[in-house]
Amino acid sequence: MNKAKRLEIFERLSEAIPNPETELNYSTPFELLIAVILSAQATDKGVNIATDKLFPIANTPEAIYALGEEGLKEYIKTIGLFNTKGANIIKTCKMLIDLHHSEIPDDRKALEALPGVGRKTANVVLNTAFGHPTMAVDTHIFRVSNRTKLAPGKNVLEVEMKLLKNIPKEYLIPAHHLLILHGRYTCTARKPHCGACCIYDLCEFKEKTE
């Protein structure tokens, strides 16, 4: 795929999705971090149901740490892997209090040192909370990148590196959410809505279906 086609793809996606942003509910970088940790192997809708109850009660490292694992689990027990996620969140809150003055670090290495925070979660926080040109490759972005041939790769890291290289500079920050939302609602896994796709004629998917 050439440079001109990649630019056209993001110009059209930006027109179709004028306000690309996460569908997780949050109001602070800390709330975003907790929501993203909870979102692993879970839907944003399911996470929002839990955090809409949790955050009015506890939305700081100190407040969630004070709940303890058992107290926290009462709010997140509807989310998959809640036992592991609850334990990691409590440990993360403790580290934020002890090492970062209860602030979310604007730094990849420090973020990835937090329990339950891997490269993808760190990329989401860096991009969404701090405006870094990072690319968190989830299942939607992985699928869209390979299907369109925008950034084909065998694993998420390969796709991430190709996207950072291939995406036009002016779209590096919004590209994360543009691709997620396009994959979530148009370029879906089983039956992509090719007939409603704004980049249909630019896509290099060989098995296009109307």
Question: Across all residues in the chain, what is the average pLDDT?
Answer: 95
In tens, the pLDDT along 136-165 reads: 999 999 999 999 999 999 999 999 999 999
- Tell me the two tokens of residue 84: 């592991």
In tens, the pLDDT along 83-111 reads: 999 999 999 999 999 999 999 999 999 99
Active-site residue (options: 138, 154, 201, 208): 138
pLDDT band of residue 1 (cuts 50, 70, 90) is confident
pLDDT band of residue 207 (cuts 50, 70, 90) is low
Tell me the CA distances in angstroms from 178 to 45, 61, 86, 109, 184, one per residue in order.
18, 30, 30, 26, 10
Active-site residue (options: 120, 149, 154, 208): 120
Judge whether 120 counts as a catalytic residue. Answer: yes
Q: What's the per-residue H, E or C state across the chain?
A: CCHHHHHHHHHHHHHHCCCCCCCCCCCCHHHHHHHHHHHCCCCHHHHHHHHHHHCCCCCCHHHHHHHHHHHHHHHHCCCCCHHHHHHHHHHHHHHHHHHHCCCCCCCHHHHHCCCCCCHHHHHHHHHHCCCCCCCCCCHHHHHHHHHHCCCCCCCHHHHHHHHHHHCCHHHCCCHHHHHHHHHHHCCCCCCCCHHHCCCHHHCCCCCCCC
In tens, the pLDDT along 117-144 reads: 999 999 999 999 999 999 999 999 999 9
Domains and CATH numbers, the chain: 3-20+135-202 (1.10.1670.10), 29-128 (1.10.340.30)
Judge whether 109 counts as a catalytic residue. Answer: no
